[in-house]
Homo-oligomer: A and B are copies of this chain.
């Protein structure tokens, strides 16, 4: 058993041709009679031949795989981005090899090593929360491997970037809250060191200032991106002397955590406290009232990431300055505000 894989040599033997001729015929090399070309192609198909990717990778010093690193594959947003990347990669006959950093720089660095050892043609990365320096990414670039960040980017690395307009999205939410008459808006912020949460926080502050409202750290609670951060964060906010009349959370999961806490305190939304999130996660439409939030485009983000990456891999962009693509967010107003 364990049927041998068929190689160009097997085809050559069968056809009494040299195996290099087969190689050329299969890739439509000029200087092979079209008669043999068709013959070879037919036989190859009959024998269920497919080329060995490792052999090609070894020869070219580059595989047709693109490496993807995310903090966690099971995260809704990231898995959707990955799906978009796969979609485009598949179309261009690339495969994706996926790894997770678990928000840990050391693991991120190891992932990079593994991916480089596989000779990936390019790298799509969403950095971990603990990533401070971009030196491990510089090393990737200095090896000539194209790199594109998505969602969370490394500011000091000169790579491609695909992000949502988080600043704008946050401003739109907060403008909407202000327009709706809320006057004391708190913010459940994410980690200050992450581009995404930093921008959302800055958008929040900008909008407050623009309307002459006090914009200070007293109204901000920093936490993570998870549900429990929302519950814990809201608890802290509600304990303060001066309670807000609205809360803007860094994402929908955090908002959902706050929602649970608000419910268990017996408060009404939006009468006692308005609530807004970010990301338009599926749960946001199931809260009662449904959550005002900002629509992101994870699929688009994945596709754009792959497209930019493949452009650079195939060298079609003339080694231009790495592109930065900013996806427009869309405010979704629902009952929670």
Is A99 in contact with chain B by the CB < 8 A criterion? yes
Is A106 in contact with chain B by the CB < 8 A criterion? no
With a cutoff of 8 Å between Cβ atoms, the chain B residues found around residue A73 in the complex are 79-80, 82-83, 86
1/0 per residue, CB under 8 A from B, across A50-78: the answer is 11111101100101010000001111100
1/0 per residue, CB under 8 A from B, across A123-162: the answer is 0000000000000000000111000000000000000000
CA of A119 to CA of B212, assembled, Å: 63
With a cutoff of 8 Å between Cβ atoms, the chain B residues found around residue A58 in the complex are 52, 54-55, 58
Given A57-B54, A58-B52, A286-B287, the answer on whether A144 and B3 have CB atoms closer than 8 Å is: yes
- Whether B99 pairs with A98 at a CB distance below 8 angstroms is no
Interface centre among A76, A117, A119 (most CB of B within 10 A): A117
Interface centre among A75, A95, A256 (most CB of B within 10 A): A95
Q: Which of B3, B82, B142 meets A98, CB within 8 Å?
A: B82
CA of A142 to CA of B1, assembled, Å: 7
Q: Which of B3, B96, B114, B259 meets A142, CB within 8 Å?
A: B3
With a cutoff of 8 Å between Cβ atoms, the chain B residues found around residue A256 in the complex are 286
With a cutoff of 8 Å between Cβ atoms, the chain B residues found around residue A53 in the complex are 54, 117-119
CA of A74 to CA of B53, assembled, Å: 27
CA of A139 to CA of B3, assembled, Å: 9
CB interface residues, A 99-123, toward B, < 8 Å: 99-100, 113-119
Copy count, this protein chain: 2
CA of A52 to CA of B286, assembled, Å: 49
Closest to A285 in B: B260
Q: Which of B54, B96, B142 meets A97, CB within 8 Å?
A: B96
- Whether B98 pairs with A114 at a CB distance below 8 angstroms is no
CA of A76 to CA of B73, assembled, Å: 10
With a cutoff of 8 Å between Cβ atoms, the chain B residues found around residue A2 in the complex are 142-144
With a cutoff of 8 Å between Cβ atoms, the chain B residues found around residue A65 in the complex are 97, 118
Is A282 in contact with chain B by the CB < 8 A criterion? yes
Closest to A288 in B: B288
- Whether B143 pairs with A54 at a CB distance below 8 angstroms is no
Is A283 in contact with chain B by the CB < 8 A criterion? yes
Is A238 in contact with chain B by the CB < 8 A criterion? no
With a cutoff of 8 Å between Cβ atoms, the chain B residues found around residue A115 in the complex are 95
Is A5 in contact with chain B by the CB < 8 A criterion? yes
Which 8 A-B residue pairs are closest in the complex by CB-CB distance? A2-B144, A79-B79, A54-B57, A74-B83, A74-B80, A73-B83, A54-B54, A54-B58
Q: Report 19 cross-chain contacts, Cβ distance below 8 Å, ordered by A residue.
A: A2-B142, A3-B143, A50-B116, A52-B119, A53-B117, A54-B55, A58-B58, A73-B80, A74-B80, A74-B83, A74-B298, A75-B79, A82-B98, A83-B100, A96-B97, A259-B286, A282-B283, A283-B283, A286-B287
- Mark A residues whose CB is within 8 Å of B: 1-3, 5, 50-55, 57-58, 61, 63, 65, 72-76, 79-80, 82-83, 86, 90, 93, 95-100, 113-119, 142-144, 256, 259, 282-283, 286-288, 298-299
